[in-house]
Amino acid sequence: MRTRSLCLLTVVGLLAGTSLSAGEPDPLGSVNWEGVRDYAFGTAPVVFDDKHVILDVPRKVEDGGQVPVAVRVIGLGDVREIVVLADLNPAPRAVTFHPLLAEPRLAMRIKVNEATAVRAATLTSDGVWHVSGANVDAPGGGCTTASASQSAQSWKTQLNRVQAQVWHRIDNGDRLRLRIIHPMNTGFVTNIPAFFIDHLVVKTAEGRIVAEMAPAEPMAENPTITVDLTKAGSSAQGYVVEWSDTDGNQGSAKIAPARQTLAAEGRL
């Protein structure tokens, strides 16, 4: 008898759940999915699509301050925008990327504040968001402890140092890797205000904008970013990267053209 009423309750609960939530249930079972969906996509249609949106993220990390994330979108045609989100971060959006003349893929490291669903989403020209993701187990505090350079004060002398290099991808455009010294303070640590790079563009040396992104609080300290340009977006003259942060600091740096070919991981 008791078992039966429990079953009934469960069924009623499931039905209620279905009727309350618009769209498909979250395959990751995240408690904050609906909140994140509304925050990131508003009322736009959302589909879970891990066939076309490939998210590469470790399932377990020791350092919630440096979680490697790579997103690849395949077979969706015109990709307008890629967003990376961590459901349980105090500010979930880590970056918004406009590939323009880049391939629809991006790699970087993000902060997660606790074990959370990490998602990649891409907006196609039909106005639909394609979302995939994975649950990442992490220790607490990735967004709410002071960054290493903030603690060491080293960012003050090194702020805005840029390291970058370009490689040829065989039969393809260039790969650009970029590292900018910046504490990327989230504002969620007592007495350390928010201070992070919030805009970054890559141009060819000739001045054509080929990729653009808006990093946010969860982008890891000293952002280290990998962008693959299309053939059309690549330049034999090299590149210029420009960025600005939430304090209005601006920087730019010239990057020499590619001189070597990208290594193949299978050959190392």
Partner 1 sequence: MRLAASLLAVVLMLTASVCAAAESTYHLHPQAVAKDTYVFIGDTNFFNPANGGNIVNTGFIVTDAGVVVIDTGPSLRYGQEMRRAIAEVTDRKVVKVVITHSHPDHFLGSQAFVGEAPVVSGAATVAMIRDHGQELAGNLYTLVGDVMRGTEPVVPEVFDTPAETIGGHDLHYYFLSGHTDSDVAVFDRTTGVLFTGDLVFFRRALTVPNANIPRWLDSLKVIEGIPYRHLVPGHGPVPSGRQAPAETRAYLLWIDKTLRAAVAGGLDITEIYRIKIPERFRSLAIVGEEFQRSVGQMVPRIESTALPVVGGAP
The stretch among 12-20, 121-129, 164-172, 195-203 that binds partner 1 (CB under 8 A) is 164-172
Q: Identify which of residues 167 and 188 has a Cβ nearer to partner 1 in the complex.
A: 167
Distance CA 189, CA 202 (A): 31
Could you give the C-alpha distances from 48 to 63, 87, 107, 182, 255, in angstroms and in order? 28, 15, 21, 34, 38
Q: How far is the CB of 251 from partner 1 (least distance, A)?
A: 6
Distance CA 37, CA 18 (A): 16
218 within 8 A of 188, measured Cβ to Cβ: no
| 148 makes contact with partner 1 (CB under 8 A) | no
Q: 159: buried, middle or exposed (CB in 10 Å: 19+, 13-18, 0-12)?
A: middle
The stretch among 75-83, 157-165, 190-198, 209-217 that binds partner 1 (CB under 8 A) is 157-165
| 208 makes contact with partner 1 (CB under 8 A) | no
Nearest 5°: the CA angle 153, 155, 160 is 170
Those residues with Cβ within 8 angstroms of residue 248's Cβ, 6 or more apart along the chain or in another chain: none
| 266 makes contact with partner 1 (CB under 8 A) | yes
The stretch among 26-34, 67-75, 89-97, 124-132 that binds partner 1 (CB under 8 A) is 67-75
Q: Which of 135, 144, 165, 244 binds partner 1 (CB under 8 A)?
A: 165
Q: How far is the CB of 160 from partner 1 (least distance, A)?
A: 4
| 144 makes contact with partner 1 (CB under 8 A) | no
The stretch among 118-126, 161-169, 186-194, 209-217 that binds partner 1 (CB under 8 A) is 161-169
**Strand segments (E) across the chain:** 46-48, 53-56, 67-73, 79-86, 93-98, 102-110, 116-124, 129-136, 162-168, 174-180, 197-204, 209-215, 224-229, 239-245, 250-255, 260-261
Q: How far is the CB of 268 from partner 1 (least distance, A)?
A: 5
Site pattern 91..120 for partner 1 (x: CB under 8 A):
----------------x-x-----------
| 139 makes contact with partner 1 (CB under 8 A) | yes
| 189 makes contact with partner 1 (CB under 8 A) | no
Q: Which of 21, 125, 151, 226 binds partner 1 (CB under 8 A)?
A: 226
Q: How far is the CB of 250 from partner 1 (least distance, A)?
A: 11
Could you give the C-alpha distances from 264 to 58, 108, 152, 236, in angstroms and in order? 21, 19, 36, 22
Q: Identify which of residues 10 and 158 has a Cβ nearer to partner 1 in the complex.
A: 158
175 within 8 A of 167, measured Cβ to Cβ: yes
| 257 makes contact with partner 1 (CB under 8 A) | no
